[in-house]
Amino acid sequence: MRRMFLILALMLAPFAAPAVEPGEILADPALEERARDLSQGLRCLVCRNESIDESNAGLARDLRLLVRERLVEGDSDAEVIDYVVDRYGEYVLLRPQATGANLILWIAGPAMALFGGGIAVAYILRRRKAEEPAEETLSEAEQARLKDILGS
């Protein structure tokens, strides 16, 4: 059992480990920690929905180096993010800001769910209030004609 767990852990290790290469790591631990925090919030433009910290793509490596370069130059975290967004667009953010045109996208999903729920509730309430149709019975002439047709 232990052997199977070890094999599974070794198979999954590449997926859990960050892709930061030893040559990229900054000498200052505080700057390196900031760089890791920033790169976990930036999307790899090649891999999609994977942070540049986790991606092995060449562009992700370039972005990691760019973040570290800006931090070494003395930029704040916000300045680094602004620089990357100016250069690559807001798509590079894993968690886009809820401002401007993005605000419409943030609000549209919950608004549509509420709208659909309101329609469903109105439909159910209307069906409950609807009167059941009166049971229609056949007249004596219709009953006689039905007997003739059925042959009984």
Q: Where are the domains of the chain?
A: 2-92, 101-129
Q: Which of 48, 77, 69, 72 is closest to 60 using CA atoms?
A: 48
pLDDT at 102: 76
Classify residue 126 by its DSSP letter.
H
Task: Kindly give the parts of the chain with pLDDT less than 70.
Answer: 4-6, 8-24, 152
Measuring CA to CA, how many Å separate 112 from each of 35, 122, 123? 38, 15, 16
Residue 93 CA from chain centroid, whole number: 13
pLDDT at 53: 86
pLDDT at 99: 74
Angle at 85 between CA 78 and CA 36, to 5 degrees: 55
Residue 5 CA from chain centroid, whole number: 31
Q: Which tokens belong to 75? A: 């930029």
**CATH superfamily placement of domain 2-92:** Cytochrome C biogenesis protein (1.10.8.640)
pLDDT at 11: 64
Measuring CA to CA, how many Å separate 17 from each of 10, 14, 125? 11, 5, 54
Residue 54 CA from chain centroid, whole number: 18
Q: Which tokens belong to 118? A: 């309101």
